[in-house]
Amino acid sequence: MKKLSIFIALSAIVFSGCKQDDEFSGPDLNNLYGGFSIVQDLDISNRNVDFSSGESTYFTATFSKNVEWNIEIKGLTSGAIRNIEGFSDNLNNVNALWNGTTSILPMFKGEDCAVEVTFLNQTDTLRDTLTVVAGRVNQGFLLSDFENGFPANWLTFIQSGANMSFNIQTSDLSAQGTHYYDMGGDVNWDWLKGYVYIPASAYGVQAFPLNSNPANVYFNTFYYKVPTLNNALILFQFCEDDNEDGTFNANNEDMYSIQVTPTAAGWSQLSVNYADLAALVNGAPSTPAGNGVKEPHKLMQVNILHLANPTSGYAQSYIDYLIFTENGPLIP
Amino acid sequence: MIYNRMIIRFFVMCCLLFAVVTSFAQSPARKFNVTGAARGYFFGDRLDQNVAQEDTITIPRLNSGHVLADLGLNIRPNKNMEIQGMVRVRNDYGGFWGSGVTFDIRQLYVKGVIGNVVRYQLGDINYRMTKYTLWNNDQELLSLTPQAFRQQYDVLNYDHFYNNDHSWRQQGAAAEFALVFSKFVEELQFHTVATRVRASNNSSINDRIFAGLNLQLIQSKYFNVGFNFVNLNDIEGTSRNTTLFRNPVMTYTAEGKWNNEQWAATSDVEWAHSKTFYVNDAEAPEWKGSAIDWRAKVKNEKTNVTLDVRLSKVDALFNSPGAQTKRINYGQLPTAYGRITNDQVVRNLSMMDLMRESNFYNLQLQNYLMAFAPKYDNITPYGDATPNRMGGVINLGWESPKKDVKVYVANTDMQEVRGEGTLTPRKFMRTEGGVEFKREKAFTSWQRRLAAQLSFRNDQTTRGGTDVVPQVDLNTQVAAAGLEIEVLEKLDLMAGWQWIQYNGFDFVARKNAYGETFNFNEYKVNGKENMMALGLRYRFSENAFLTTQWNQYDINDATLNSTSYNVGQIMVLYQMNF
């Protein structure tokens, strides 16, 4: 009993030292509930920014209290939008830095932009403008952005249906640059409207120069859904030269695929990890025909097939900016 | 077709298995055992909404259910080794001929003894350490739930490996051994565990490992001390991501016991330190926190009155994933009636969903504090290791000599260690009490089972306001009652009632990816939930029963964008453990 009493007494002594912290966590509530005003107006560090040469720009402003803010930068030619959000009492070179990326496609290009800063639960809005001299350049192996016409040595097959339109279009609303590839047509006897084969040989190599680890390789592209059409499918196929003999044999070598059903009108981004590709037969998973190992460094051809139910009428999709990236998906 | 082949193979395996078991059953030392459980579960729900304009979109009736069998094979090839494998076969009602049928490995482990010294276990491990290192705290409201509803909670807890010993189901390895001494010290025990909490994706996510060590020195039956170390850490090189999470927690424990003919007393203390940081991440904060928890319990052996006192202080930055991870993931949405009204608004999680929504429940340790529902528990949402709390709990209890009647009253008085958004701390007050009566043979003149329980809890959170900052005042009351009467032999009439009311205002911290508070959301609630059940249970044996229940749940929530509705439920549950 004596030992227990000593133990209890010691424990009580330890607790007698407990006291409250003399600081608090999180932002000051008095500040949050205080009045809001703009202390220092919006300013832009670089009003003529060239993202293609690695430049960036940032915004500055100071407010009377911490507040949730949103900077919206809108390309006046492309319609591209970049949103930067934060919670602070100022904008600075850390929390309001813009390196040319986009939140809502298309990508920014050389164009004037409108900048607007809005605040949660506040009516104030700050506005300014800046000029993008040139859009950012992404790292990776670019298959094509269609800016220089249809790439040499790509192969196409186009069904002899009605209103077939497998060609390059020019528009400021392209996902990237000013050109995209338009695939459309009405083929009432076949799901296939047309395809594009992209062999590695078009780039002077036997296999695309990709990392051998499929988890590190991403295939990226932008695709466009025409708002009034709901029937298109785009199938991307990746043909591996398992035995490295310079040819692809579908009977005993791997072909992995991903099928995209455009659902949201306008441009969307597809970024798929090579490791997540699957062998598909008529859209359903199947066993690969080759060694069953995903080997991006043996990829020798990419196929793009435009499909639609033959009874569904005219189908159309656009694609733009086909690029392989490493260690992460494309950040447009 | 594939499923058909699987089913045929499975039944052939089962037949062979039972043949083997039967043959071994006649030998004195059985090397094989079949263990497991079987269950049939059915819900028939009907939703009625109290809305001005009739909801013509939401389907009011939902039927769902499944039959499953957990078939485990326990093999003991020799006296020092045991292998357990368990497969779950589940078929949703209406899912015959392949669709809806699933086969899963539910349990797989190997355990044994090396050289009669070291005990080990590999594979699935149910592991528990202390309340500040590795402890699976009960979900909200469970302790106040009558048996009529508890049956559904039991199904959830069984499916998610939530055991009464508060262990977490992990996959990894554990080992333990002990040194026995002849003088001064009775025994020195070593326990160690390492489990894989998260698997690498070979790209950007590293393997995450939980490792633990416990040293327990048993001086005598009256006194022991312990040292515990756990660490949740990312393994470098398992992906290209060089940012590595680290969370070591170290605790020291001591326990003393004393008793004589009239009194029995125990006291224990746990003193903990934690450090939370990232390697190769300049933006990540480094947290250091400590906790101390002392408890004393005195029992008068003659009157069976027990006084239990607990004092604790847990720093705001004390982070112990093993002890603070919650069972319920409040980020999920209900699958039953996920959206209601003509506007198809998201239906908020309710007391009824806690009882039956399997997808709310979490199986893995989380590195930072998970979200919680202040209306259900704003005082101890992360159990005893809830950070940013200091204060005490006093519990006075009594139980009859035959332990068939239990009564308790308890009071919790706590406050924050560190204010949130202000230096003024929140204050927490909880008052609760309960009575439980349970007899297998109720009276000499009526020798049948009778059980009843009644409980009540009142929670208050308060903090003064200023001219511009509103004051915090959040109140929650929970009441429950349960009754089980054996009306015919082994046939029980069951009734249950649970009611919760919440009203008031508080702030809920918004946290960034590093668990830091960067803003607050206003949290206003004003609602009542009521749940009643009436049913029959037939007990085939101690391990098997069939129950059918009618439940009525209703909610009246005056909070903005909420609605009032009720759900009538017919539930049939057949449960057998073997």
State mean pLDDT over A111-140: 94
Q: Which residue blocks in B90-211 are alpha helix, DSSP H?
A: 147-159
Pick the residue of B2, B200, B203, B505 with the most A CBs within 10 A to test the interface with A by mutation: B203
Confidence of residue B2 (pLDDT cuts 50, 70, 90): very low
DSSP secondary-structure letter at A124? -
Contact (Cβ atoms closer than 8 angstroms) between residue B375 and residue B476: yes
Lowest mean pLDDT among A16-30, A112-126, A270-284, B39-53: A16-30
Which residues does chain B have within 8 Å of residue A33's beta carbon, measured at their own beta carbons? 468-470
For residues B73 and B8, what is the distance between their CA atoms, to the nearest angstrom? 19
pLDDT at A169: 94
State mean pLDDT over B525-549: 95
Which residues does chain B have within 8 Å of residue A32's beta carbon, measured at their own beta carbons? 421, 469, 519-520
- CB nearest B421 (choices: A14, A24, A34): A24
B313/A11 Cβ within 8 A = no
State mean pLDDT over B5-31: 48
Confidence of residue A1 (pLDDT cuts 50, 70, 90): low
Lowest mean pLDDT among B51-55, B135-139, B277-281: B51-55
Q: Search chain B and give the residue with CA nearest A327.
A: B203
State mean pLDDT over B361-375: 94
A66/B423 Cβ within 8 A = no
B240/A327 Cβ within 8 A = yes
Which residues does chain A have within 8 Å of residue B292's beta carbon, measured at their own beta carbons? 14-15, 18
For residues B106 and B88, what is the distance between their CA atoms, to the nearest angstrom? 6
Q: Check if A27 contacts B (Cβ < 8 Å).
A: yes
- CB nearest A87 (choices: B267, B416, B519): B519
Q: Check if A275 contacts B (Cβ < 8 Å).
A: yes
A158: Cβ contacts below 8 Å, ≥ 6 apart: A164, A166, A185, A193, A194
B419/A15 Cβ within 8 A = no
B292/A14 Cβ within 8 A = yes
pLDDT at B17: 42
H/E element holding A77?
none
Q: Check if A328 contacts B (Cβ < 8 Å).
A: yes
User: Could you report the per-residue pLDDT of B509-532, keeping only the tens digit for each?
Assistant: 999 999 999 899 999 999 999 999
H/E element holding A4?
helix A2-16
Confidence of residue B540 (pLDDT cuts 50, 70, 90): very high
pTM confidence score: 0.79
CB pairs under 8 A between A and B: 112
Q: pLDDT averaged over chain B?
A: 90
Question: Percent of chain B beyond pLDDT 70?
Answer: 93
Which residues does chain B have within 8 Å of residue A67's beta carbon, measured at their own beta carbons? none
Answer yes or no: is pLDDT of B19 > 90: no
Answer yes or no: is pLDDT of B331 > 90: no
- Selection from B428, B417, B412, B418 nearest residue B504 by Cα: B428
Q: Check if B205 contacts A (Cβ < 8 Å).
A: no
A18/B316 Cβ within 8 A = no
Dmax (CA) for chain A in angstroms is: 100
- CB nearest A24 (choices: B201, B240, B418): B418
User: Could you report the per-residue pLDDT of B241-260, keeping only the tens digit for each?
Assistant: 899 999 999 999 999 999 99
Confidence of residue B16 (pLDDT cuts 50, 70, 90): very low
B204/A8 Cβ within 8 A = no
User: Could you report the per-residue pLDDT of B62-72, keeping only the tens digit for each?
Assistant: 998 999 999 99
Answer yes or no: is pLDDT of B324 > 70: yes
Q: Which residue blocks in B477-570 are alpha helix, DSSP H?
A: none
- CB nearest A4 (choices: B256, B311, B388): B256
pLDDT at B99: 65
pLDDT at B202: 75
Confidence of residue A10 (pLDDT cuts 50, 70, 90): low
Q: Check if B223 contacts A (Cβ < 8 Å).
A: yes
Question: Percent of chain B beyond pLDDT 90?
Answer: 76
Answer yes or no: is pLDDT of B22 > 70: no
Answer yes or no: is pLDDT of B561 > 80: no
**CA of B220, closest CA in chain A: separation in Å?**
13
Q: Check if A23 contacts B (Cβ < 8 Å).
A: yes
Cβ neighbours around B506 below 10 Å, total: 23
Could you give the ipTM of this predicted complex? Answer: 0.82
Cis amide leading into B146 (omega within 30): no
For residues A326 and A207, what is the distance between their CA atoms, to the nearest angstrom? 16
For residues A232 and A224, what is the distance between their CA atoms, to the nearest angstrom? 10
A24/B203 Cβ within 8 A = no
User: Could you report the per-residue pLDDT of A246-298, keeping only the tens digit for each?
Assistant: 999 999 999 999 999 999 999 999 999 999 999 988 878 889 999 999 999 99
DSSP secondary-structure letter at B322? H
State mean pLDDT over B332-343: 87
Q: Check if A152 contacts B (Cβ < 8 Å).
A: no
